[in-house]
Chains A and B, each alone.
Chain A
Amino acid sequence: MNTIMTEKNAAYLNDNAIFPLKSRLNSAPRTAPDTLRGFHTNDWEKCIGCGTCGEICPTDAIRMVERLDLPLVAGAHQQRPVIDYGRCCFCALCVDTCTTESLKMSKEYIYSNTDPDQFLLMPEETWQGRRVEQGYVKTETTDLLDLKRVEMEHLTPKERINSYIEVVRGYSKEVARQEAARCVECGVCTTSCPVQMHIPQYIKSIWEDDIEGALRQVYETNPLPGVCGRVCTHNCEAACAIAVRGEAIAIRWLKRYIIDSAPNDMYELIFNEPVSEVIDAKIAIVGSGPSSLAAAYYLRALGYGVDVFEERPRAGGVMSYGAPQYRLPDDAVNKDIDFIKRIGVNIHTSTRVGTDITLEELEKKYDAVFLGTGFFKARKLNIPGSDNQDVIGAMDFLPIARDFARGLIKLDDINVGKSAVVIGGGDVAFDVARNLIRIQTMKYGQADVKLTSLESFDILPASMEEYTEGMEEGIQFHFGFGPQEIILKNDKVEGLKVYKCTSVYDQDGKFNPQFDPTKGAFLEGEQVYMSIGQAPDLDYIPESLKSVIKIERGKLNTNSLGQVEGADWLFAGGDIKMGPDIITAVADGHRAAQGIDEYLYGKAKKKATSEYYNELRNAIKFNTPDLALKPKKH
């Protein structure tokens, strides 16, 4: 043997050998085998502070400590694990369950210190300041997490394109519990949710088959869970700890499962006592979209009288007139809205503020007014030919398609041609295109829909699901082209001329599309649909009011709780405050309820209240959402 284990011994023998050495002795400490479970190392860049290691540790050796020097982003907590080596038994279960593979074990196994206080150590990338060799690491066999989602049944493309049946079938109890069993209860999803729902807790309630508890937990922060369970933009799933190395927990579908499995009488258990008007103050709400209904719900639960004014025959806003029937059927919207009505919110449909009743009257009759009128006007591109009757804005078409889907318009009466070109790359453009596929298939037996957008595929704003499902349904895509002119012949639309779009944003990140006229195309179509954004209709705001408040690009200037600057009795939420999606609208509604309560509670007369009411008030105010965190920039 010509390797001695310590340098000291090798040096001694080399210098003092009694017999002649054939070659100099080397020293190489005994290295442990590759699977050794030694001291831990943790890569702080990868670690998200989920705390799963602390939960599984059998000896309670791992604790999470708060570190405010870490960035505050969605998908991570500002905490890191600390290990008490007096308790650690080196079982490596923490490494096996680490969601990001940041926690590993090294080949180091010797640590000694005379001070027992020095045995609480914080694993970092180095051990005692030195880079060390990796020992035990997680492999696919040892992984204790379930990285693949349980399959969700969808309708096949053939079944989809000639009907408005809901595409996503929904979970059964068995499957929902299996999917809920994948959650590690870390809570990073909550920080990225605009309303900070109690996501890990309601997933656990599903797993424990406690639908009643789950329903209460969901309604604490979101009075439109059936809708969100189908069309939410699910920031939570993007932030999910399991999504780092696998597929995120299907949080949106689990929420839908709770609502679908809750029978109507279970809703009576959400509040321990019936909600009633205990504060002598009334609030008028303009519009019945998600932000309005959320504000109405929370104000009613806080004890105010609430009147909602909706210009269309049905309540719901974009939920009833924008999102397509095959993704958000009427039954789901009605279930949510019915509960809000049952707790005492008065919704006056077919009543337009500005004509049937004016905003000045509302200001006089009510103690506060909330505006949630949304962006319902279609925007059209100003290119030649765009004033033809067969050039249609998305927001003009979608309500008609919705009324058709619910049977209020007959197939013969709907103005849809044999072929169409859809301009736009967002989710709304896909809604338009997929509606057209269905209507054309029903009317003509086949569909011909082309979709073109400035953005190329890699920066397409629409979600991956919409693209995949749209492709299965037969949309033809032309990404990266900019519309130039609508070609007419005898006052009928023939198609759309487009040039190749070389870039959408300039160096400063501003919207400044550049085109290459030498590379163009002509997209044939009997109709052209423009889905390039929507605009608000603020005609109902009188000039006298418009002069004291600020409106920029259709959005009202408000403080963080939605109180309009210049008119403290006026609040706003939803798309006319900031947007961009339904769940942010719900958050706006909750924040506005908080703001209105702060504005009115001190001044108004109050009836005697029960202890439960006080607890409910505190809970609603405690749950007022903060602004959601943005994910880390890579």
Chain B
Amino acid sequence: MTNSMSNVEFVKALIIQHVRPHVIDIIDQHQIGFEVDQNEIHLLLLALKNAGWIQMSYLSAIDWPGENKFEVVYVLFNWDKPVYVQLRTKIDRTNPVIDSIIQIYPGAKYYERECHEFFGIAFPGNPDHHKQLILEQWDDIPPLRKDFDPKAYSDRKFPQRTYTEDYSLSNSESTKVEKRKLRKQRAESLKGGKKQ
């Protein structure tokens, strides 16, 4: 275990040598994350691959509608110096484009395709990135975006199931459930100020 801390330090030194990351995030002795700029990604991926991080474990994106950005994340691993490196970069949400990395890691081809399908990010350089992969006959916005509401979609497309007997014994004149719901709505309408 004595080498592990220096593995993380090694990665950190390697990255800092090339760029100034926005965020450096050491999670434990086997994982470190960096947030960098979009145009620095290829350079860093090549540097890491040459230093031994030859396995690409994961590629995906995260939607930050509040900041109007997508965050693309690459996770790499090196079996000889076991440290997971997360490289994150934020790209514009209204017109998301980032160059494909399949020349560096060919295995990223399908991850990028899936990312396009679920978020709408374009990966020029990946010949099939726009083709449909998992969702058949999809007719809505890319579903992993935060503004896609799966419940609304499901209510639109599929019939509702209702049961005939619901075991209730109520009396519309003296229903307590309605009154409680109204009181709760009234109280919640008074919220305001700082949210956590």
Pairwise interchain contact A66-B176, C-beta atoms closer than 8 A = yes
Cα-based distance from A65 to B176 in the complex (angstroms): 11
A69: CB under 8 A from chain B?
yes
Pairwise interchain contact B187-A220, C-beta atoms closer than 8 A = yes
Interface bits B125-145 vs A (CB < 8 Å: 1, else 0):
000000000000000000000
Cα-based distance from A208 to B195 in the complex (angstroms): 6
Q: How many residues of B contact A (CB 8 A)?
A: 28
Contact residues, A114-141 vs B (CB, 8 A): 117, 119-120, 122
Chain B neighbourhood of A208, CB < 8 A: 195-196
Contact residues, B175-196 vs A (CB, 8 A): 175-177, 180, 182-184, 186-188, 190-196
- The CB with the most chain A CB atoms within 10 A, among B188, B191, B196, is that of B191
Pairwise interchain contact A82-B166, C-beta atoms closer than 8 A = yes
Chain B neighbourhood of A77, CB < 8 A: 176, 180
Known: A66-B176, A201-B187, A220-B187. A211 touches B166 (CB 8 A): no
Cα-based distance from A63 to B182 in the complex (angstroms): 18
Pairwise interchain contact B166-A210, C-beta atoms closer than 8 A = no
Chain A neighbourhood of B188, CB < 8 A: 201
A216: CB under 8 A from chain B?
yes
Q: Which of A68, A619, A623 lies in contact with B174, CB distance below 8 A?
A: A68
Contact residues, A68-108 vs B (CB, 8 A): 68-69, 77-80, 82, 84, 86
Give min CB distance, B71 to chain A, whole Å: 26
Pairwise interchain contact A212-B176, C-beta atoms closer than 8 A = no
- The CB with the most chain A CB atoms within 10 A, among B161, B187, B196, is that of B187
Q: Which of A69, A120, A212 lies in contact with B192, CB distance below 8 A?
A: A212
Pairwise interchain contact B165-A120, C-beta atoms closer than 8 A = yes
Chain A neighbourhood of B158, CB < 8 A: none
Chain B neighbourhood of A79, CB < 8 A: 177
Give min CB distance, A468 to chain B, whole Å: 34
Pairwise interchain contact B164-A117, C-beta atoms closer than 8 A = yes
Pairwise interchain contact A209-B194, C-beta atoms closer than 8 A = yes
B2: CB under 8 A from chain A?
no
Cα-based distance from A40 to B87 in the complex (angstroms): 47
Give min CB distance, A117 to chain B, whole Å: 6
Pairwise interchain contact B190-A66, C-beta atoms closer than 8 A = no
Pairwise interchain contact B196-A117, C-beta atoms closer than 8 A = no
Give min CB distance, B158 to chain A, whole Å: 14
Pairwise interchain contact A205-B165, C-beta atoms closer than 8 A = no
Chain A neighbourhood of B170, CB < 8 A: 65-68
Chain A neighbourhood of B79, CB < 8 A: none
Pairwise interchain contact A210-B194, C-beta atoms closer than 8 A = yes
For chain A, what secondary structure do more than half of its interface residues adopt (helix, strand, loop), or is it mixed? mixed
A434: CB under 8 A from chain B?
no
Q: Which of B171, B177, B187, B195 lies in contact with A210, CB distance below 8 A?
A: B195
Chain A neighbourhood of B191, CB < 8 A: 205, 210, 213, 217
Chain B neighbourhood of A207, CB < 8 A: 196
Contact residues, A190-215 vs B (CB, 8 A): 190, 196, 198, 200-202, 205, 207-213
Known: A86-B161, A120-B163, A120-B166. A210 touches B184 (CB 8 A): no
Known: A66-B176, A68-B171, A201-B184. A217 touches B190 (CB 8 A): yes
- Sorting the interface of chain A by its residue count into under 10, 10 to 19, 20 to 34 or 35 or more gives 35 or more
Give min CB distance, A396 to chain B, whole Å: 43
A187: CB under 8 A from chain B?
yes
Chain B neighbourhood of A269, CB < 8 A: 192-193
Pairwise interchain contact A619-B169, C-beta atoms closer than 8 A = no
Cα-based distance from A619 to B194 in the complex (angstroms): 24
User: Nearest CB to that of B169 among chain A residues?
Assistant: A67
Contact residues, A594-627 vs B (CB, 8 A): 619, 622-623
Give min CB distance, B176 to chain A, whole Å: 6
B39: CB under 8 A from chain A?
no
Pairwise interchain contact A117-B192, C-beta atoms closer than 8 A = no
Q: Which of B167, B174, B194 lies in contact with A65, CB distance below 8 A?
A: B167
Chain A neighbourhood of B177, CB < 8 A: 64, 66, 79
Chain A neighbourhood of B174, CB < 8 A: 68
User: Nearest CB to that of B184 among chain A residues?
Assistant: A201
Chain B neighbourhood of A82, CB < 8 A: 166-167
Pairwise interchain contact B190-A220, C-beta atoms closer than 8 A = yes
Chain A neighbourhood of B186, CB < 8 A: 198, 220, 619, 622-623
B168: CB under 8 A from chain A?
yes
Contact residues, A49-70 vs B (CB, 8 A): 63-69
Give min CB distance, A616 to chain B, whole Å: 11
- The CB with the most chain B CB atoms within 10 A, among A63, A66, A202, A207, is that of A66
Interface bits A266-294 vs B (CB < 8 Å: 1, else 0):
00010000000000000000000000000
Q: Which of A80, A84, A211 lies in contact with B163, CB distance below 8 A?
A: A84
Known: A117-B163, A201-B187. A212 touches B169 (CB 8 A): no
Q: Which of B164, B169, B183 lies in contact with A198, CB distance below 8 A?
A: B183
Known: A86-B161, A201-B184, A201-B188. A65 touches B166 (CB 8 A): yes
User: Nearest CB to that of B171 among chain A residues?
Assistant: A68
User: Nearest CB to that of A202 among chain B residues?
Assistant: B187
Cα-based distance from A119 to B164 in the complex (angstroms): 11
Pairwise interchain contact B192-A216, C-beta atoms closer than 8 A = yes
Cα-based distance from A64 to B169 in the complex (angstroms): 12
Cα-based distance from A80 to B168 in the complex (angstroms): 9
Cα-based distance from A269 to B192 in the complex (angstroms): 10
Give min CB distance, A58 to chain B, whole Å: 14
Known: A79-B177, A187-B180, A201-B188. A69 touches B196 (CB 8 A): no
Cα-based distance from A120 to B164 in the complex (angstroms): 9
Give min CB distance, A273 to chain B, whole Å: 15
Pairwise interchain contact B169-A210, C-beta atoms closer than 8 A = no
User: Nearest CB to that of A87 among chain B residues?
Assistant: B161
Give min CB distance, A220 to chain B, whole Å: 7
Chain B neighbourhood of A623, CB < 8 A: 183, 186
Pairwise interchain contact B167-A213, C-beta atoms closer than 8 A = no
Interface pairs (6), CB distance under 8 Å:
A65-B167, A117-B164, A201-B187, A207-B196, A210-B191, A217-B190
- The 3 closest A-B CB pairs, nearest first, are A212-B193, A198-B187, A65-B168
Which B residues are within 8 Å of any A CB, using their own CB?
161, 163-171, 174-177, 180, 182-184, 186-188, 190-196
Not counting A77-B176, A212-B193, a sample of 14 additional A-B residue pairs whose C-beta atoms are within 8 angstroms of each other reads: A66-B169, A66-B175, A67-B168, A68-B171, A86-B161, A120-B166, A198-B186, A202-B187, A205-B191, A209-B194, A210-B192, A212-B194, A213-B192, A622-B183
